[in-house]
């Protein structure tokens, strides 16, 4: 099936389920992307500077463009929207495509999160049913469970923040675990020098600025590190717990049982109810439904439930992916957190 025909079929199917079509701008401010994804993402952007000196870029992601629309138009309450278009991203491999055609649909501003999660997944499945697929797999994960686990672990607060922040950068995350379990990045000589600097700074004016930070700010950071030390034995244990957690994979109806067994074994004060997941059936419309703790690491802005559907039809291999991103609109500048969940078909 040609991409255009496939796109038109998906658009008709989404519209029939009560979603409203919107147009999205092709060009957005580059700082919105950099603030959200970091300077490392800049190398993937097609950017330029306008006559006023403002850096703009071709949209590398339709979800961010949609959330910016909601924010900049000062929209309130629930919206069920859908859109289609192209996302533009520089690639590092000849196999990857610079231009990606997408059809996306979202529910923004609703407070019934579990109901919305289920509706987005069910809408995705119904679209695929209209395309008459033969078989496939629905994989479900949840970033919130990972962050709850990290919050319960016996490591310094700064390490909890670091691991949660970089969960989506798999290679760097694995490097952090190595550092955590070995303390290889901590030089005893440097530690002693830092202690001496700390004592010297205690005698200085807290308002004095050194390398862009006040002495008071530097002392506060030193104080946190001294009171919250990192021990190699403890770090090694925590690293093993995290690695073990990320290996959990099972049919969705056993997700709560496997997680609770893991929490109990590692003496972690957490309990998950099976009703926490949007789906509890192992088979749904020719789809095998699986749960994976390591799934959901491909986009930084996901904050809760994540899913992907891989199916094969008679004419094409089709992929759909999505999830919950409740912090994205506030990260882009909203004073209030706006619940958001959505999915996209990459054609």
Say whether both 266 and 314 belong to one domain: yes
Q: Is 213 helix (H, G, I), strand (E, B) or coil?
A: strand
- List the single range of 49-53, 112-116, 178-182, 307-311 with lowest mean pLDDT: 178-182
pLDDT tens readout for residues 124-141: 999 988 888 778 899 999
In 10 A of CB 20, how many CB atoms? 12
Inter-CA distances, 274 with 62, 114, 252, 261, Å: 32, 12, 9, 13
276 near 254, Cβ under 8 Å? no
Higher pLDDT, 262 or 227: 262
pLDDT the model gives residue 254: 96
Say whether both 35 and 90 belong to one domain: yes
Say whether both 30 and 156 belong to one domain: no
Q: Which H helix or E strand runs over 4?
A: helix 3-15
Half-sphere exposure of 198 (CA within 13 A, CB side): 15
Single out the residue of 154, 190, 161 nearest to residue 176, CA to CA.
161
Q: Per-residue DSSP letters for 227-281?
A: HS---HHHHHHHHHHHHHHTT-EEEGGGHHHHHHHHHHHTT------GGGSS---
Say whether both 17 and 79 belong to one domain: yes
Helices (H), 73-112: none
Q: Give me the residue label for tokens 């749904």.
A: 284
Single out the residue of 346, 345, 339, 347 nearest to residue 124, CA to CA.
345
User: How many domains does the chain contain in total?
Assistant: 2
**36 has a pLDDT exceeding 50:** yes
317: exposed, middle or buried (C-beta count within 10 Å: 0-12, 13-18, 19+)? Answer: exposed
Compute the average pLDDT of residues 67-96: 89
Q: Give me the residue label for tokens 């192209």.
A: 86
Q: In degrees rounded to 5, what are phi and psi of residue 53?
A: 85, 10
Compute the average pLDDT of residues 178-191: 63
Say whether both 8 and 132 belong to one domain: yes
pTM: 0.81
pLDDT the model gives residue 214: 81
Handedness of CA 270, 272, 278, 283 (dihedral sign): positive
Which of 193, 221, 242 corresponds to the end of one domain? 242
Handedness of CA 195, 196, 202, 205 (dihedral sign): negative
**338 has a pLDDT exceeding 90:** yes
Say whether both 141 and 257 belong to one domain: yes
Higher pLDDT, 317 or 19: 19
Single out the residue of 99, 148, 164, 113 nearest to residue 323, CA to CA.
113
Which of 191, 215, 242 corresponds to the end of one domain? 242
Q: Quickly state the pLDDT bin for 38 (edges 50, 70, 90).
A: low
Compute the average pLDDT of residues 176-198: 66
Which of 242, 257, 290 corresponds to the end of one domain? 242
**58 has a pLDDT exceeding 90:** yes
Say whether both 260 and 315 belong to one domain: yes
Q: Quickly state the pLDDT bin for 17 (edges 50, 70, 90).
A: very high
Say whether both 114 and 190 belong to one domain: no
DSSP 55: E
Say whether both 61 and 130 belong to one domain: yes
Residue 138: give its domain's CATH number.
Answer: 3.30.930.10
Q: Which domain holds residue 206?
A: 149-242
**187 has a pLDDT exceeding 50:** no
pLDDT tens readout for residues 203-259: 778 788 776 778 777 777 666 655 545 555 678 899 999 999 999 999 999 999 999
Q: Per-residue DSSP letters for 279-305?
A: ---SEETTEEEEEETT---S-TT--SE
Say whether both 31 and 119 belong to one domain: yes
β-partners of residue 267 are: none
Say whether both 105 and 197 belong to one domain: no
């Amino acid at each position: 099936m040609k991409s255009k025909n496939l796109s038109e079929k998906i658009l008709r199917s989404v519209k029939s389920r009560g979603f409203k079509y919107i147009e999205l701008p092709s060009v957005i401010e580059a700082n919105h992307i950099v603030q959200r994804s970091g300077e490392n993402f800049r190398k993937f952007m097609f950017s330029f500077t306008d006559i006023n000196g403002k850096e703009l870029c071709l949209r590398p992601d339709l979800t961010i463009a949609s959330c910016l629309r909601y924010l900049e138009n000062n929209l309130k309450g629930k919206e069920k929207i859908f859109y289609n278009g192209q996302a533009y991203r520089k690639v590092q491999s000849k196999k990857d495509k610079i231009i990606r055609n997408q059809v996306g649909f979202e529910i923004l501003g609703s407070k019934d999160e579990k109901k919305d999660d289920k509706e987005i997944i069910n809408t995705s499945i119904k679209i695929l049913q209209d395309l008459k697929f033969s078989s496939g797999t629905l994989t479900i994960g949840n970033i919130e469970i990972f962050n709850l686990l990290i919050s319960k672990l016996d490591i310094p607060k700064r390490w909890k923040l670091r691991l949660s922040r970089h969960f989506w950068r798999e290679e760097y995350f694995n490097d952090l675990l190595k550092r955590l379990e070995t303390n290889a990045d901590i030089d005893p000589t440097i530690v002693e020098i830092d202690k001496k600097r700390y004592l010297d700074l205690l005698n200085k004016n807290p308002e004095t600025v050194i390398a862009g930070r006040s002495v008071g700010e530097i002392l506060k950071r030193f104080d946190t590190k001294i009171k919250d030390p990192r021990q190699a034995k403890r770090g090694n244990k925590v690293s093993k717990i995290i690695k073990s957690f990320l290996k959990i994979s099972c049919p969705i109806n056993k997700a709560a049982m496997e997680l609770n067994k893991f929490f109990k074994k590692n003496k972690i004060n957490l309990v998950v109810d099976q009703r926490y997941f949007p789906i509890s059936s192992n088979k749904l419309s020719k789809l095998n439904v699986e749960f994976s703790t390591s799934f959901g690491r491909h986009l930084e802005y996901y904050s809760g439930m994540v899913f992907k559907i891989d199916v094969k039809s008679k004419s094409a291999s089709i992929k759909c992916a999505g999830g919950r991103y409740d912090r994205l609109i506030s990260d882009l500048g909203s004073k209030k957190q706006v619940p958001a969940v959505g999915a996209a078909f990459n054609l």
